A and B are shown apart, each in its own frame.
Chain A
């Protein structure tokens, strides 16, 4: 069985500040890890993914995440927040080489203060 825990249902940062969204996972096999973003009344858009290889992965819109096996974490960061980053962010894990269905966390609502 696999699971995802996202710490903090709501995170508020000032525009221009560092964004840090936390994700911890559990998986009995090497995980494939994903971050998705969801804007109001829309579907999910892939930000970035970790499969194998380099543990620091870069995604769209200036986001990046680092896979830390020892900490079972895959935290999402962005150096400087923009108002357009306000959205819901979901961390997800998949096993089976990414072929299995995704298990999502409950999401973190990112609020950007002007």
Chain B
């Protein structure tokens, strides 16, 4: 049983560019959340998707957007990248009515 999988694992982008990160939830899970973890900090909640809609959002600007597909996989898009967007982006999933959240290994984004 595969856990939460994310791609790519590492990437480097230039300021002003756009990036798309991808996530496949754990088998049987239908709710996907994204977190940003800056170096030396705890993860911060970006948003959560369920039934292909954004259900909850943290304190992140509109440059951060997402999508969930019918197969429950998800994408995180960040536009107009800033140096401060450099971080580990974590995807997490859980099943309906479940409160145990499983995390992927993350995607390391470096903005130069």
Contacts and interface: CB of A to CB of B under 8 A. Distances in A.
B106 A43 contact: yes
Contacts of A51: 99
Contact of B42 (A32, A46, A49, A107): A107
A56 B106 CA distance: 31
Given A43-B105, A43-B106, A106 B100 contact: no
Given A43-B90, A101-B56, A101-B58, A49 B43 contact: no
Interface residues of B, number: 24
Contacts of A90: 42-43
B44 interface: yes
B99 A49 contact: yes
B105 A102 contact: no
B102 A104 contact: no
Interface in A23-51: 32, 34, 36, 42-46, 49, 51
Interface residues of A, number: 25
Interface of A: 4, 32, 34, 36, 42-46, 49, 51, 90, 92, 94, 97-107
Interface of B: 4, 33, 35, 40-45, 47-48, 56, 58, 90, 92, 98-106
Given A43-B106, A49-B99, A106-B42, 12 more contacts: A32-B99, A44-B90, A44-B92, A45-B103, A46-B101, A97-B99, A101-B33, A101-B56, A102-B35, A102-B92, A102-B101, A103-B45
21 contacts: A4-B42, A32-B99, A36-B103, A43-B105, A44-B92, A44-B103, A46-B101, A46-B102, A51-B99, A90-B42, A94-B99, A97-B99, A98-B98, A99-B99, A101-B33, A101-B56, A102-B43, A102-B45, A102-B101, A104-B42, A104-B43
